[in-house]
A and B are shown apart, each in its own frame.
Chain A
Amino acid sequence: MNFFRFNRKLYPTAALFAGVFIIIFGLAEAKNLTLCSAFLGFSLIWLMIFGCSAAAMRIFPFYLAVALIFFGIFYAATGSFEAGHAMANRFAAVFLAVVPGMATEPVRMTRALSQMRAPRSATLGILIAMSFMPLLKTEIKRVREAMKTRNAGSVLNPPVFYRAFLVPFAMRLVSVSDTLALSVETRGFTIGKEPYTIYKKENFVFSDFLFLFGLTASAAVTAVL
């Protein structure tokens, strides 16, 4: 496998590291207003170059809304622009940290963890937790539709919420997880120490190295200045 190539998708573990690094460094440096903003701006551009542009674009409107609200609250509470700016920096760090995670497909993360010989139960757990979320939305929608069909009442009413929403929802979760477990088992997934093959391997290539180098170098420059 050639190391010197440019992969459009980040290596999953590199993405994980980038997320943790951005959130920790961003929160720690949030008070250095301009420098931190510059670091976060650079991180955004860097992430977009290395294949996270779609995730960044998806999250940007949410960031803008939340940052504006909290900027307003802090500006109103203190009358100081700096306090609001620091808050906006913190939110930028939090939202940016989510971007590499969003851009990484669950199956790629599982492959990378399997290559690292991580415990099978852990990789399976992470894979399901990551990929189950869209399914969960569908299940919630179904239960709510069933409530409407039965004319069960408002979800805001606690007894109705418990009886007509929570219990059927938990029941669906149990049956869905049983089916999922069966499906996993029939695909030959075991949690013992049996040997397994990874057909599509994830490789750490030069672009990943460049990405991490750029990120840490910009953080170092921010810290020194």
Chain B
Amino acid sequence: MVDDETQSLAESLILHTEEIRKAISEKEAAVSMKNETEESRIFPVYRIKDIVFLAVMAACMLVTGAVMPLVGQIPIFGIIQLALALQFSLFPVIGMMKVRKPGALLFTAFCCGALLIFMNTVMFVCMLICAVIAEGAALLIFRSYRKDGACLLAGTVFFPMTLPFLYLYYRFFYSWSGSEGKAVSAFLGSSPSAAIGMSIAVTALCFFGSLIGVLISRELKKSGVIKK
């Protein structure tokens, strides 16, 4: 009699546990399906985690790019880019490698540029435009940021793209005659060969910075800090 009761109790307990397990697995399946559909979208939804990380990367860019307002006033073609190429390719690439969603570079550029408005307004506009172009190029070629090459390309292209826009800016603010005009021509601003040399140097530095960014992200992946 007692054995029958115990057995029925045990059976009902097992049944209840199975029901709970089934409910949990159904819930998990629904969550994973939701995540999969979100990830398979062309423009996946950003989570707070992504936004915070990209904003942190933007803060890093800002801190290391504090020299911008100083070098920005020196009329040497590409001096801003040369001074900031490494930082402005390294940190966005780390951001893109972790988040891997279209718009990551644009968001980083926006967060960084929103504070750069106070220091170099022109650079803010330049950065936004160039982020859109760089992201467009990377997505056009690689379709998504799943491959490291896409992050490398976007990181390399992003900052050198600001050169033509900054060139127009210099032409506007520094194209006058007189003693100051002489001072400007004493620098490299008017020489096309110097401009080409600077552009190559900036692109090479950006490539180097992006490469380091990719390597660091791979190390972080290996150590488990960034999910695979």
Contacts and interface: CB of A to CB of B under 8 A. Distances in A.
Interface of A: 16, 19-20, 23-24, 27-28, 31, 66, 70, 74, 77-80, 82-83, 86-87, 90-91, 94-95, 97-98, 100-101, 121-122, 124-130, 132-133, 136-137, 162, 166-167, 170-171, 173-178, 180-181, 184-185, 189-191
Contact of B48 (A19, A91, A184): A184
A180 B48 CA distance: 10
A83 B179 contact: yes
Interface in B172-188: 173, 176, 179-180, 182-183, 186
A80 B179 contact: yes
Contacts of B107: 121, 125
Given A74-B183, A78-B179, A121-B46, A173 B60 contact: yes
Given A70-B73, A86-B180, A125-B58, A98 B52 contact: no
B73 A90 contact: yes
A90 B176 CA distance: 15
Contacts of B118: 16, 19-20, 23, 97-98, 100-101
A72 to B, nearest CB: 13
A184 B98 CA distance: 19
Interface string B117-135: 1111100000000000000
24 contacts: A16-B117, A27-B173, A70-B74, A78-B186, A79-B179, A80-B180, A82-B179, A83-B179, A83-B180, A87-B73, A94-B69, A101-B118, A125-B54, A125-B58, A128-B56, A128-B111, A129-B115, A132-B56, A167-B220, A171-B220, A177-B52, A178-B49, A180-B56, A181-B51
Given A82-B179, A121-B46, A121-B107, A94 B56 contact: no
Interface residues of B, number: 49
A51 B180 CA distance: 36
B65 to A, nearest CB: 12
Interface in B131-188: 173, 176, 179-180, 182-183, 186
A124 B62 contact: no
A95 B69 CA distance: 8
A24 B121 contact: yes
A65 B183 CA distance: 21
Contacts of A23: 118-121
Given A125-B111, A162-B212, A167-B220, 8 more contacts: A24-B121, A94-B73, A101-B115, A121-B51, A122-B114, A125-B51, A126-B115, A133-B63
B73 A173 contact: no
Of A128, A137, A190, most buried by chain B (CB within 10 Å of CB) is A128
A96 to B, nearest CB: 10
A167 B180 contact: no
B52 A130 contact: no
B69 A98 contact: yes
A62 to B, nearest CB: 9
Nearest to B107: A125
B73 A171 contact: no
Given A121-B107, A177-B56, A97 B119 contact: yes
Contacts of A91: 73
Interface string B49-81: 101111111111011000001101110000000
